[in-house]
Chain A
């Protein structure tokens, strides 16, 4: 099955911009979906499709894709954005499993 690769940890200064990336072959056919997970809580959907945000997700979150690398950009990071971020897509071909990246722990300094 396909894999999605993320940087394990990243940090960003308060108010600055950070780009979290996700690389994998399945991203040739599927947009990456991005989830935010705070400690002890269920994941929350933040970006899906080309660059769509569910109701309630701040506009500072945006998504993009280039080839087999997807990015989640937080423009003007806030303390509340400190969390784990997971990308996800579906396998292509015969096995259409859902796949998750290993997650990126974001620290806001």
Chain B
């Protein structure tokens, strides 16, 4: 059973870089998409990006210019860097493990394992 443990700085000043890491414990990582999702206070979920089983990255177009997601397979960890943060980046940040599948007519994608979340506050 895969479990995720995440950590990183909880308070940042504007223009700094948000850095979070998520460690993967247990289970098989085969076919996994390693994702980051955030949730501003009182708002919905926003996907930030992912690194796929081939090691390729995909990002939310609205954040793409400021985001880097990387993975260290030897350490079984993946990381998020978000540059030039502002107050609008204040949110709970989650890491998650995604899996993709298909049937004759449809694809499906789901994230069954999530980290507990890290609250990040950007304030001067």
Contacts and interface: CB of A to CB of B under 8 A. Distances in A.
Interface of A: 1, 29-31, 33, 35, 37, 42-45, 48-50, 54, 65, 84, 86, 88-90, 95-103
Nearest to B59: A97
Nearest to A101: B44
Contacts of A29: 106-107
A96 B101 CA distance: 14
B123 interface: no
**Size class of the contact patch on chain B:** 20 to 34
Nearest to B113: A45
Contacts of B47: 97-100
Interface of B: 35, 37, 44-47, 50, 58-61, 94, 98, 101, 103, 106-112, 114-117
A65 B37 CA distance: 25
A65 B110 CA distance: 16
Contact of B112 (A31, A45, A65, A99): A45
Given A43-B94, A97-B58, A33 B110 contact: yes
B110 A45 contact: yes
A58 B111 CA distance: 18
B109 A100 contact: no
